[in-house]
Amino acid sequence: MDTARGISRLAFDAVEQLTHIVEGMHANIAALSLPFGRGTDGRTRGVTGFVYQSIRSVNAGARTALDRGLGLLPAEATPAASGPLLSVLNGLLGDHLAATENPLAIPMQLRREGEPRSKRLLLIHGVCMSDRGWRRNGHDHGEALARDLGYEPLYLLYNSGRHVSENGRELAGLLEELLAEPDTELTILAHSMGGLVARSACHHAAEAGHAWPRRLDKIVFLGTPHLGAPLERGGRWLELLLGVSPYSAPLARLGMVRGAGITDLRHGASTPLPAGVTCHALAGTRDVLVPVSSALGRHTDPDRRLAFPEEHCWVGSGVGHFDLLDDAAVYARLRAIMTPVEPPRDRRTPASA
């Protein structure tokens, strides 16, 4: 009954947070705070304070009782399914789920498809998505590249609500174990936030002295917000605006209901592209989530600009953020990038006798 326990814990967490918000607004209104500036500490006193404390106590008691009761029921045969709703939930609240040891928190894991091969393709999904999200409109880049070029697809599933750095550090350790056997070559295909996780993994691997980066041939980024995502910056502005007045400040808690991973998208990643690895960046002109300049790492500040060679940058006309997962032109570009280059033949003519 892990799923039921996880949902019940979230419900009780929501009641607790809502109580904090309502009490904060009540305290500021009762104190006749000025329209702008600092308000009270958000706690009420006297009988009113006793009422709010009673709500918290009843909520905590009911939570403990229900959690223990559900714990007595038979365990699920399989863990909570990594479906779309659970992936979205982890993207929005994943850091909270992990910190509270909620059973709904998605643990990092790999799904392997096909026969083991020396050429491995690691596919890393984006925020609020899962390893199953690579299949779109009947197409899967991993399956297609396995069929056409002989790769072994490895699909990463992770909690996209955790900090990018946390997922990157864990992925680095996972790859060190995965690539322990010799004669293996790794290529990473990463969509959206997955590209930031890949860069973070390379950074942590370098710091830890891991061996697997020496087997990393290339990384292909699909719509990765290397320089940040405007929509997340908009969410931050909403938080700041709500905090201007003590009457609306408690509502700013609602603006913070998004995972640490999403807040990491505000400015992208500060780590450089991994040294010695061929990196490609693909973007779409209709991507409203990640601007072309961010996806290609182009910034007016040289210190923030990423060193993608011009020939390794590609922009799909009319391609949106999620179209990057199944667009025919995108796949054609991927196939061209990952097709081994044959050495030129020796065309010298033999010397005459």
Domain covering 109-231+259-338: architecture: 3-Layer(aba) Sandwich (3.40)
Beta strand residue intervals within the chain, DSSP E = 109-112, 119-124, 135-136, 139-140, 152-157, 185-191, 216-222, 278-284, 313-316
Cβ neighbours of residue 89 under 8 Å, at least 6 residues apart? 97, 104
Pairing relationship of beta strands 109-112 and 152-157 according to DSSP bridges: antiparallel
pLDDT at 309 exceeding the cut of 60: yes
| Contact between residue 170 and residue 135 where contact means Cβ atoms under 8 Å apart | no
Q: Give the pLDDT confidence of 222-273 residue by residue, as tens digits.
A: 999 999 887 655 444 444 444 444 544 444 454 555 567 878 887 788 888 9
Task: Please tell me the least confidently modeled range out of 167-176, 257-266, 302-311.
Answer: 257-266
- 223: Cβ–Cβ under 8 A, 6 or more apart, which residues? 126, 191, 192, 282, 283, 284, 287, 289, 290, 295, 321, 324
Find the helix packing angle between 2-30 and 46-71, rounded to 10°: 180
pTM of the model: 0.77
Residue 85 pLDDT level (bands cut at 50, 70, 90): confident
pLDDT at 34 over 50: no
Between residues 272 and 188, the one the model is more confident about: 188
DSSP string for 85-125 = HHHHHHHHHHHHHHHTT-TTSPPPEEEE-SS--SEEEEEE-
Contact status, residue 268 vs residue 227, Cβ threshold 8 Å: yes
Of the ranges 86-100, 224-238, 294-308, 337-351, which is most confident? 294-308
Type of residue found at 174: L
Domain residue spans of the chain: 2-78, 109-231+259-338
